Amino acid sequence: MSRDHILHKVRTALGRSAAEPPGEAPAPWLRVPESAVDDRVESFCAALEKLAGKTYRAVSRADAREYVERLIAGRKAVASPAALLVECGITGLTGVESGFHDKDAWRAACAAADIGITAADYALADTGTLVMLASSGEPRLLSLLPPMHVAVLARERLLTGLDELFTLLPVPSAATSSLVFITGPSRTADIEQILVRGVHGPGEIHVVLV
């Protein structure tokens, strides 16, 4: 069956002629359920922990800092200069490097670090997913290269799901060059169906909800 014949059948089914331009695309159908913040927290933590991610519900910014400090425990860490990390005092912890201005130095620090610490722009409660918008202050390398990723998230940035995200970011490309979804530690079963973590990114992920 020729391409022209197939397209003719499609146009006929749609009630259009060959010269007729396509109509306006329908508006996206987005459903945002009502959900209290505490319910979103419960859903997010349960979903992420099913995927071997770890969560911590900090009662204050000081509590978040202390939890991250315990995770570092003498290891090398690199942190983004995100406002939330600065407010929590995480960028000033012993063993944490931050505030690089040279790209080569930033790459070298990420390659040598045991832990990459970032904020997260949003998170999706229904799937336990972090939403990361790449920027000069929050480069992708930080959440991808070190073997452990620690993400700090303000509870009010926890959304119900993907539909709510697209009500806030209807055109993600207008806000960032890269929109990344992170759902649990990196894992693959490509080789003989054996699950291996940490192949394409961090093998361990901690999310601190502030």
Does residue 196 surpass a pLDDT of 90?
A: no
Q: Which residues contact 180 (CB under 8 A, 6 or more apart)?
A: 131, 132, 133, 134, 140, 143
E strands along the chain, which residues?
54-57, 77-79, 96-97, 115-119, 122-124, 129-133, 148-153, 158-159, 179-182, 187-188, 196-197, 204-209
* Rg from Cα positions in the chain: 21
- Reported as a single tens digit per residue, the pLDDT across 161-185 is 999 999 999 888 888 888 889 998 7
Does residue 198 surpass a pLDDT of 70?
A: no
Does residue 139 surpass a pLDDT of 90?
A: no
Domains delineated in the chain: 38-209 (3.40.50.10420)
Residue 90: its pLDDT value, please?
A: 96
Query: pLDDT band at residue 26, thresholds of 50, 70 and 90?
Result: confident
Query: pLDDT band at residue 1, thresholds of 50, 70 and 90?
Result: low
- Reported as a single tens digit per residue, the pLDDT across 78-99 is 999 999 999 999 999 999 998 8
- Reported as a single tens digit per residue, the pLDDT across 27-78 is 878 899 999 999 999 999 999 999 999 999 999 999 999 999 999 998 999 9
Query: pLDDT band at residue 192, thresholds of 50, 70 and 90?
Result: low
Does residue 153 surpass a pLDDT of 80?
A: yes
